[in-house]
Amino acid sequence: MELKDILSKCDHTLLAQTATWDEIRTICDDGMKYGCASVCIPASYVKQAAQYVEGKLPICTVIGFPNGYDTTAAKCFMASDAVENGAEEVDMVINIGWVKDKKWEDLLSEIKAVKEACRGKLLKVIIETCFLTDEEKVKMCQIVTASGADYIKTSTGFGGGGATREDVALFAKHIGPDVKIKAAGGIANIQDAEDFINLGASRLGTSRIVKAVKAMEG
C-alpha cells in the first residue's frame, strides 16, 4: 500500500489538553502537506483552524469528549456550534453507562439527534471499545447503523485502550453497508495503519503516521 493512500485515510489528530495554537497550526500545515483526510482538533480551535486552512483541509472535532456522559442537549449544542464554526466532521462519544444499562433506545435517539445537529456534515460515533464486551460492541454496531451516522469509531485514545485488530474485524462483520469504520488510539506505525485498513477501516485517528513519514524524510 502506498504511503499517500495511507495518509489520505488519516485524521491527523491533536487532542491533548495542553494543545496550543502553534501546535494546532503545525498539525494543519502537516495535514495539508501530506494530504490527510482531516485534522481532528479541540472544538475551541475549530473556527481559527477553518479560517487558517481556507478550505484546503476538512476540520474535524470531538464532542462529549472523552467521557460521553454529557446530556443529549449539550452534545447537540456542541455539534451545532462546531459546524457553525467550520467543522466538516464531528466525532461524538456515546454514553457508555447507557450501554451498561442497556438503554438502547436512548442511545439510538441521542445519536440521531446529534446527526441532525450536524446539518449534513459527517458524524463518527466513538463507542470506546476498551470498556465494552463483544456483545455490547455488536449491539452498538447495530445501533450506529440504524442511527444514520456515517462512521463507527473504536476509541477516544483517553480510555485506557485503543483500536485493536479484533475490534475492527468485528465492526466490519456487524455494521451495515452505509457505515464506515474509524480506528483510533494506539496506531503506532505504518504497519499498524496498513493492517487496520486491510481489516476494513476507512479512517485512522492518529498523529504518528505523519510523524513517521516526516522521520523517514528527515
In the predicted model, what is the mean pLDDT of residues 171-183?
A: 98
Single out the residue of 58, 59, 60, 78 nearest to residue 68, CA to CA.
78
Q: Is 91 a catalytic residue?
A: yes
In order of 49, 68, 69, 180, the CA distances from 98 in angstroms are 34, 10, 9, 23
What's the alpha-carbon Rg for the chain, to the nearest Å?
16
Catalytic residue among 9, 153, 167, 180: 153
pLDDT tens digits, one per residue of 48-90: 999 999 999 999 999 999 999 999 999 999 999 999 999 999 9
Catalytic residue among 75, 137, 180, 182: 182
pLDDT tens digits, one per residue of 201-214: 999 999 999 999 99
Write down the pLDDT at residue 218.
78
Q: What is the CATH number of domain 3-217?
A: 3.20.20.70
Domain ranges of the chain: 3-217
In whole angstroms, what is the distance from residue 43 CA to residue 60 CA? 9
Single out the residue of 214, 213, 153, 203 nearest to residue 2, CA to CA.
213
Catalytic residue among 91, 150, 167, 192: 91
pLDDT tens digits, one per residue of 131-166: 999 999 999 999 999 999 999 999 999 999 999 999
Write down the pLDDT at residue 29.
98
| Phi, psi (rounded to 5 degrees) for 198 | -65, -30
In the chain, % of residues over pLDDT 90: 100
In the predicted model, what is the mean pLDDT of residues 112-127?
A: 98
Residue type, 28: C
Contact 213, 7 (CB under 8 A): yes
In the predicted model, what is the mean pLDDT of residues 6-14?
A: 98
